[in-house]
Amino acid sequence: MKTKVKIVDLFAGVGGLSYAFAQDLDFEIIAANEILPNMAKAYKLNHPSVKVYCKDIVQFGLNDLNKDFSISKGSIDIVIGGPPCQAYSTVGKRLIDDPRGKLFQEYFRILKELDPSIFIFENVKGLISMGDGFLLPTIIDLFSTLGYTTQFKTLNAADYGAPQMRERVIIVGSKRGIKYKFPNQTHGINADLFNNKTSPHLTLKEALSDLPLNPNEDVNFYMTEPQNEFQKLMRMNASDKITEHTVPKNNPTLIKIMELLPEGGTPKDLPIDIRPSSGFGNSYSRLWWNRPSTTLTRNFSTPSSARCIHPLVARPLSTREGARIQGFPDNYIFCGSRSEKNLQIGNAVSPFLSKALLSSIKKCIF
């Protein structure tokens, strides 16, 4: 019998970064660590075979795995994780000695303890410019001290089939003769597929058009049959009823703002007497129906905090629509309040990016 590739998932969230690895029979996620209880609960519900540790990363490591699985250094093949990023003002030459780099230190510590052949480290695109541009090379140099050949690339989830423009920095380190190469783009103008015929970026219409436009507790059935391969994939193994397809009740003023916004519109397109006097650059803004979504945040049901107004109706995105935009299937479970569920979705790595990384990992180890 073929031995499965063993994985440990750090800063696991609800499992976006490791999503594809959990679905592949050649891989086995041994353990995951996540500090937030409802995120850890959701991870466990979606991946019942995985041992989930809900604790501070400082308290997690080889001792836990050795105690529960008799795992020793070198027994884990891959470590996956995306430590939350802190906005450093300066960066010392040795990040491991900088108390502000605590979460990076813990990722480094666990790499040192487990000594996997490959690691995948994910973070926001802003990592490139943090610390006046010194943080990213410092992290890479730090990982290199453990013997890894380390490389990074900014990947956009839309370029791999997600209906969302979502850029993330991916750092991959490998050792023991493994030569890693980042996945080729599959969607968008730079993709080179099917004898140079490109597969365009997926749009919101393609992602959401089978869901009811006016969701509530009584309207919980799909509006149409699946209209395309993406919708078929999202509805695979799901029931006939839609879950999490509800939105907050908004006040009359906000509803009026949303009604007056054109597709893709911003507060600049509103009459002055109703134009909001505060907000961010993308606040109170409507999405486009025939384009991918902009980057989803944890506030995708809060128009005052993000561009999240549905292209066709006067409401923000529902929790299920946010999950669809990220690429989570309709049977994926989220836990807690609406804001907690939206946090779980908005903070995640798109499963479509996970699929691309899985494909590239398989090419270099099999």
Q: Which of 54, 85, 308, 335 is catalytic?
A: 85
Q: Tens digit of pLDDT per residue, the chain (366 long)?
A: 569 999 999 999 999 999 999 999 999 999 999 999 999 999 999 999 999 999 999 999 999 999 999 999 999 999 999 988 655 434 445 555 555 557 888 999 999 999 999 999 999 888 888 878 888 998 999 999 999 999 999 999 999 999 999 999 999 999 999 999 999 999 998 776 554 556 899 999 999 999 999 887 666 889 999 999 999 999 998 888 899 998 989 999 999 999 999 999 999 999 999 999 888 888 999 999 999 999 999 999 999 999 999 999 999 999 999 999 999 999 999 999 999 999 999 999 999 999 999 999 999 998
- Is the residue at 283 inside a domain? no
**H/E run at residue 33:** strand 27-33
Q: Is 85 a catalytic residue?
A: yes
Looking up residue 49, the CATH number of its domain turns out to be: 3.40.50.150
Q: Which residues pair with 216 in a beta bridge?
A: 219
Could you give phi then psi for residue 325, rounded to 5 degrees? Answer: -60, -35
Nearest to 170 by CA among 151, 194, 197, 188: 151
Domain range for 174: 5-189+349-365
Instruction: Specify if 211 maps to a domain.
Output: no
**Helix, strand, coil % (nearest 5) of the chain?**
35, 15, 50
Number of independent structural domains in the chain:
1
Q: What is the pTM of this model?
A: 0.94
Cα distance between residue 238 and residue 260, in whole Å = 35
Compute the distance between CA of residue 76 and CA of residue 68 in angstroms, rounded to an integer. Answer: 14
Do 348 and 14 contact (CB within 8 A), yes or no? Answer: yes
Give me the residues paired with residue 286 across strands. Answer: 309
Instruction: Return d(Cα 352, Cα 366) in angstroms, integer.
Output: 21
> Is residue 15 domain-resident?
yes
Q: Tell me if 220 is assigned to some domain.
A: no
**Interatomic CA distance for residues 301 and 117, integer angstroms:** 40
